[in-house]
Amino acid sequence: MAQLLARNIVDELIVTPAGAPWMRVVTPVAAGEDRLEMVKLAVATLPGDIAARIKVSDSEIQRAGATFTIDTVLEVKAENPNAQLVLIIGSDAFSTIGQWHRSEELLGLVEVFVVAREGVGFDIDALSISSSSIREKIESNEDFGSELPESVWSYIKERNLYASK
C-alpha cells in the first residue's frame, strides 16, 4: 500500500479491514479487532510522510451483520463527496467482483485498481501473504516473521492468532 502513495497513484488511502464478508465461506480466524490492530501496527512502521496519508477505518468491523463493499463506499462517498474514489483490490478478489452485492452500482461509484496477486494485476511490491499462508506456516512451524513488520508478528504470537483451533 505504501507503493501506491510513494508512486502518487493515490493521494491518500483508507484501509478498511473486512467485517463479516458475505461471500466468505469461513469466518476469519482473527477477530475484527485483532485485524484492525494489526493494520494499525503495520501502518505505524511506515515512513511518517506515507503513514500520514493512511487512515485506518473500523467501519466494517463496527457494522452489524454481513458487510458489503458498496455500503463502505457509500459511507466514504458521503464523507468525501468531491473525492474520486479508487477501490484497490487484489486480482484474486477482482475475479469475483461480478458476484459482489450491488456490483454494478459499486463499479459506477469507483475506479478499480487491481493489485497483482499471483502475477496478475499491477505490481506494487505488495506483501504476498494471507491469513491462510500464515496459518499454514504456523502449523508447520515455519518462520514467516520476516514477511511481516516485527510489531505485527509479535502481536500474532502474543495472542496466538492463526494457530489451529
Give helix 32-44 / helix 150-159 axis angle, nearest 10°. 150
Other Cβ atoms closer than 10 A to 125? 10
On whether residue 39 sits in a domain, the answer given is yes
On whether residue 56 sits in a domain, the answer given is yes
Residue type, 1: M
Residue 28 has what pLDDT? 59
CA 48 to chain centre: 20
Residue 101 has what pLDDT? 94
Residue 76 has what pLDDT? 97
Take residue 91 and report the three cell numbers written for it.
486480482
Take residue 146 and report the three cell numbers written for it.
520476516
Query: Domain containing 42: what range?
Result: 2-128
Pairing relationship of beta strands 13-15 and 111-115 according to DSSP bridges = unpaired
Residue 118 has what pLDDT? 66
On whether residue 137 sits in a domain, the answer given is no
On whether residue 37 sits in a domain, the answer given is yes
On whether residue 163 sits in a domain, the answer given is no
- Residue 141 has φ and ψ, to the nearest 5°, of 60, 30
Residue 87 has what pLDDT? 96
Residue 123 has what pLDDT? 72
Q: Residue 12 maps to which CATH number?
A: 3.40.50.620
> DSSP secondary structure string, 56-104?
E--HHHHS-S-B-HHHHHHHHHHHSTT---EEEEEHHHHTTGGGSTTHH
pLDDT in tens, the chain (165 residues): 678 888 888 999 999 998 877 766 665 578 889 999 999 999 999 999 999 999 999 999 999 888 899 999 999 999 999 999 999 988 888 999 999 999 999 999 999 998 876 666 667 766 556 666 776 777 777 776 667 888 988 898 899 887 655
Instruction: Determine the Cα–Cα distance for residues 15 and 11; give it in Å rounded to an integer.
Output: 13
> Which contiguous run of DSSP H or E holds residue 115?
strand 111-115
Residue 6 has what pLDDT? 85
Residue 26 has what pLDDT? 62
Domains of the chain: total: 1
